[in-house]
Amino acid sequence: MKRILILAAALLAAGTACAQEAYREQRRSLFELLPIRSSDIVFLGNSLTDGCEWSELFDNRHIRNRGISSDRACELAERLDPIVEGHPKRLFLMIGINDLAGGAAPGEVVADIARVIDRFQTDSRWTRIFVQSILPVNGRDFDAYRNHYAHADRIVPTNELLKALCEEKGVTYIDVWSALADGEGLLDKRYTNDGVHLVGEGYLVWRDVLKPYVK
């Protein structure tokens, strides 16, 4: 019986990975066909970005959502071309939680984000870059994303490195983590239903943090 359960779990994990990769390719292929313009504001990231209707949230028709669920910082470079070539007005980047959940060290994540910044500063010099902190997670009240909870202690050190990177590169760092964390440094359960992703109220808090920068 135990062997059957292990096999079933392995098959489920494999199926989930295949579905994630299929979805990623679907989104990526679509984004390659949708032009970015110099007046656009691009939101780039993983499922946290993907899961929001940003243009409606800000009532701004120039916002373009380029989030892809399950995306990682180490994978962003391969899908930057259509964005960089459009020379968007602003870029809002949030990425890295999936890298940490996969075992990446804070320094590795920040190095990959540095490469994204470098690409824009080289090939789209007039794009204003805003790097957002990685959000907290909550493994106290939820149990759906155990890898994310297991590496939660890496989030704050990564954010500290991100802030230093932004100072070095001359780009804006935005602390969203503090607005969504509870008194114990976990993702406030009012804003999530799985300990990683946000419900509507969480996105409203996020929006309010970004309002001074989205113009």
pLDDT for the residue 10: 43
Q: What is the pLDDT along the chain (215 residues), one digit of tens a residue?
A: 556 544 444 444 444 556 788 998 999 899 999 999 999 999 999 999 999 999 999 999 999 999 999 999 999 989 999 999 999 999 999 999 999 999 999 999 999 999 999 999 999 999 999 999 999 999 999 999 999 999 999 999 999 999 999 999 999 999 999 999 999 999 999 999 999 999 999 999 999 999 999 98
Side-chain half-sphere CA neighbours of 122 within 13 A: 8
pLDDT for the residue 43: 99
pLDDT for the residue 180: 99
CB proximity list for 178: less than 8 A, separation 6 or greater:
133
- Nearest in space to 135 (alpha carbons), one of 54, 206, 66: 206
pLDDT for the residue 170: 99
Side-chain half-sphere CA neighbours of 68 within 13 A: 22
Question: Strand 63-67's sheet: what is its strand order?
Answer: 63-67, 41-45, 90-94, 128-132, 172-174
Show me where the domains of the chain are located: 34-210
Distance, CA of 116 to chain centre: 13
Instruction: Give the separation between CA 22 and CA 15, rounded to whole angstroms.
Output: 11
Distance, CA of 186 to chain centre: 17
DSSP letter at 66? E
- Is the CATH code 3.40.50.1110 the one for domain 34-210? yes
- Nearest in space to 152 (alpha carbons), one of 138, 132, 163, 162: 138
Residue spans of beta strands (DSSP E) within the chain: 41-45, 63-67, 90-94, 128-132, 172-174
pLDDT for the residue 142: 96
Instruction: Give the separation between CA 73 and CA 91, rounded to whole angstroms.
Output: 15
Instruction: Give the separation between CA 118 and CA 56, rounded to whole angstroms.
Output: 30
Identity at 67, one-letter amino acid code:
G
pLDDT for the residue 80: 98
**Is the Cα dihedral 16, 21, 26, 31 positive or negative?**
positive
